[in-house]
Amino acid sequence: MTVSYEEALQRYEPVFGLETHVELGTRTKLFCGCPTAFGAEPNSQVCPVCLGLPGSLPAVNRMAVEYTIRIGLALNCTIARWCRFARKNYFYPDMPKNFQISQYDEPLCTDGWLDVVAGGTTVRVGIERVHLEEDTGKSLHVGGATGRIHGAEYSLIDYNRAGIPLVEIVTKPVPGTGFLAPGVARAYVTELRDLLRSLGVSDVRMEEGSLRCDVNTSLSARGSGAWGTRTETKNVNSLRSVERAVRSEIERQAAVLDAGGRVVQETRHFHEDTGVTTGGRSKEEAQDYRYFPEPDLVPLAPPPEWVEKIRAALPELPAARRARLQAEWSLSDLEFEALRNAGAVDAVEQTVRAGASPADARKWWLGELARRANDAGVEVVSLPITPADVARVAELVAAGTLSDRLAREVIDGVLDGEGPPDQVVAARGLAVLSDEGALAAAVDEAIAANPDAAAKVRDGKVAAAGPLVGAVMRATRGRADAARVRDLILQRLTGA
């Protein structure tokens, strides 16, 4: 029995939470000096420390700690005065020591928040903690049908990734979002990603694994006040998947509860192709990680001066930047949100910086370019046109060299790879016909060729000028400025 999303929300209140792992973009790993570059040959970026060889010891990368504090401050967290690393003990071949150096009950940052806008409302997502830990190696499972672990004959492990610094950001549970839950979850990850990118601490590419999300979802019966059992969903590899995973879990759990069943506390796996989650390891018997303070590392006690220095150096955060741009561009909330939803804020900003007016920049990115992007099924920012190009086109229109119509042709040319705007204009001969003599000649020719229309205009039927304008436009292959042509025709025929 399945339950539709709408039905589910009639009976239940969703609560969700997110655990996000961010690979920091430090040059070296968290506990050793091995490089962190993505895509290196297997096991070419390892040393005794990150391989966990007997006798090796960790040494903390100061930059990783700084980045973590930066993230904590940007998320409005309290930075711990004193904290320790802890060992999380469990056996798994991708973990060279069979323990992970992480943080347990003393995270570096706690108790923050991030405001997120979805569906026209602002939701304050609480941040429980931000802590630092080391990443594991990567396994290739060989022999099974799907390359996944089930049915594999053996596995091959590459430890290049082992020891790369990971920051784990855990939200507090987010209740009260109702049917917006999937959207809010997605908006949170989007906002977090943009925030992290602006901080320069990570390249946050979900497709490369430098930003990983696990989503927790639970349902409580409406009006019951009690929170339901939550499941954890892994393998959520894109923003869209975040939204779909929350949604599908809400539907699934509602169906289970409606049928009188019990939601099992477990870890589920999200499938991109089907958009649903499947059950996996049961979390009923929670693993005992036997945490204890890491004896090979001494406590972290970030001096207040250091923390303040980091705070003072924080860049303008995305929310503040958006507010500033919205004011600078004199846009309403709705207008600005439209720009955000189109993913065009940066493009517009850069276009304005390249000399266009905010109105023009917005017009092109939200109008013609958004349409072209939609047709091609891509994001507007991945179109092969730069903000500088767009600014140039706007400039040419403002200068009268191009009409709006011609400008669209120029844009076509740029998108088709014919080169920058000026080159397209020249190559296609798209400049507005400004030679008054040629224009006059074309007007006269059109009048001569369309005597009936001309007569009507002389008689005062100004609307009849239309076909005459059309004739001139055809004759000039669209290069004439239609408004100017109309003026000229009326002048000729009515003396006005």
Partner 1 sequence: MAITRDEVAYLAKLARIALSDAELDHLAPQLDQIITAVAQVQEVAAAGIPPTSHATGLTNVFRGDEPVPCLGPEAALAAAPAVEQQRFKVPRILGED
Partner 2 sequence: MELTRLTAAQLSAALAAGEVSAAEVTRAHLDRIAATDAKVHAFLHVAADAALAAAASIDQRRASGERLGPLAGVPVAVKDVFTTAGMPTTCGSRILDGWHPPYDATVTARLKRAGAVILGKTNMDEFAMGSSTENSAFGPSRNPWDLDRVPGGSSGGSAAAVAAYQAPLAVGTDTGGSIRQPAAVCGIVGTKPTYGGSSRYGVVAFASSLDTPGPFGRTVLDAALLHEAMSGHDPMDSTSIDAPVPPVVAAARAADVSGMRIGVVAELSGEGYQPGVTSRFAEAVELLESLGAKVTEVSCPHFRYALPAYYLIAPSECSSNLARFDAMRYGLRVGDDGTRDAEQVMALTREAGFGAEVKRRIILGTYALSSGYYDAYYGKAQQVRTLIIRDFEAAFGQVDALVSPATPTTAFGIGERADDPMAMYAADLCTIPSDLAGNAAISVPCGLAPEDGLPVGLQVMAPALADDRLYRVAAAAEAALTERWGQPLLRQARGLDA
Binding site for partner 2 (CB under 8 A): 48, 51-60, 87, 89, 91, 93, 96-99, 155, 157, 288, 290-292, 295-298
Chain residues 152-191 in contact with partner 1, contact rule CB under 8 A: 152-159
Residue 276, contacted partner among partner 1, partner 2, none, CB below 5-8 A by kind: none
Rule CB under 8 A: choose which of 2, 105, 143, 341 binds partner 1.
Answer: 143
Q: Strand, helix or coil at 8?
A: helix
Name the DSSP letter for residue 380: G
Q: What end-to-end distance do the CA atoms of the chain give, in Å?
A: 76
Residue 84, contacted partner among partner 2, partner 1, none, CB below 5-8 A by kind: partner 1
Question: Which residue lies nearer to partner 2 by CB, 160 or 171?
Answer: 160
**CB 147 → partner 2: shortest distance, Å?**
17
Long-range residue pairs from 310-313, CB within 8 A, at least 24 positions apart, any chain: 310/66, 310/69, 310/70, 310/73, 311/73
Residue 222 is encoded by which pair of tokens? 């409406």
Contact residues for 447 (Cβ-Cβ < 8 A; gap 6+): 454, 468, 489, 492, 493
**CB 34 → partner 1: shortest distance, Å?**
5
Residue 55, contacted partner among partner 1, partner 2, none, CB below 5-8 A by kind: partner 2
Burial class (CB in 10 A: 0-12, 13-18, 19+), 123: buried
Q: Applying CB under 8 A, does 57 fall inside the site for partner 1?
A: no
The DSSP result for 114-130, as a single string, is EEEEETTEEEEEEEEEE
Rule CB under 8 A: choose which of 57, 119, 208, 298 binds partner 1.
Answer: 298
Question: Which residue lies nearer to partner 1 by CB, 43 or 224?
Answer: 43
Which one of the spans 114-122, 298-306, 365-373, 375-383 is the region binding partner 1 (CB under 8 A)? 298-306
Contact residues for 141 (Cβ-Cβ < 8 A; gap 6+): 147, 148, 149, 152, 155
Distance between CA 110 and CA 172 in Å, rounded? 11
Question: Which residue lies nearer to partner 1 by CB, 143 or 275?
Answer: 143
Q: Applying CB under 8 A, does 281 fall inside the site for partner 1?
A: yes
Q: Applying CB under 8 A, does 274 fall inside the site for partner 1?
A: no
Based on its alpha-carbon atoms, the radius of gyration of the chain, rounded to whole angstroms, reads: 30
Q: Applying CB under 8 A, does 45 fall inside the site for partner 1?
A: yes
Distance between CA 493 and CA 463 in Å, rounded? 13
Q: Applying CB under 8 A, does 126 fall inside the site for partner 1?
A: no
Q: Applying CB under 8 A, does 42 fall inside the site for partner 1?
A: yes
Q: How would you classify the pairing of strands 266-270 and 231-236?
A: parallel
Question: Which residue lies nearer to partner 1 by CB, 297 or 338?
Answer: 297
Q: Rounded to the nearest 5°, which phi and psi values hold at 317?
A: -80, 155
**CB 349 → partner 2: shortest distance, Å?**
44
Question: Which residue lies nearer to partner 2 by CB, 140 or 359?
Answer: 140
Q: Applying CB under 8 A, does 284 fall inside the site for partner 1?
A: no
Half-sphere exposure of 1 (CA within 13 A, CB side): 12
Which one of the spans 142-150, 237-245, 358-366, 425-433 is the region binding partner 1 (CB under 8 A)? 142-150
Which one of the spans 90-98, 168-176, 198-206, 399-407 is the region binding partner 1 (CB under 8 A)? 90-98
Contact residues for 225 (Cβ-Cβ < 8 A; gap 6+): none
**Selection from 149, 119, 131 nearest residue 234 by Cα:** 149
Question: Which residue lies nearer to partner 1 by CB, 59 or 221?
Answer: 59
Q: Are 108 and 130 in contact (CB under 8 A)?
A: yes
Q: Applying CB under 8 A, does 285 fall inside the site for partner 1?
A: no
Rule CB under 8 A: choose which of 21, 172, 269, 372 binds partner 1.
Answer: 269
Q: Applying CB under 8 A, does 398 fall inside the site for partner 1?
A: no
Sequence letter at residue 472: V
**Selection from 206, 285, 288, 213 nearest residue 17 by Cα:** 213
Distance between CA 237 and CA 245 in Å, rounded? 10
**CB 369 → partner 1: shortest distance, Å?**
39
Contact residues for 321 (Cβ-Cβ < 8 A; gap 6+): 198
Question: Which residue lies nearer to partner 2 by CB, 96 or 413?
Answer: 96
Chain residues 302-331 in contact with partner 1, contact rule CB under 8 A: 302-303
Q: Applying CB under 8 A, does 26 fall inside the site for partner 1?
A: yes
Distance between CA 230 and CA 485 in Å, rounded? 69
Residue 229, contacted partner among partner 1, partner 2, none, CB below 5-8 A by kind: none
List of residues contacting partner 1 (CB under 8 A): 26-28, 32-35, 41-48, 51, 59-65, 82, 84, 91-93, 139-143, 148-149, 152-159, 234-235, 267, 269, 280-281, 288, 292-293, 295, 297-303
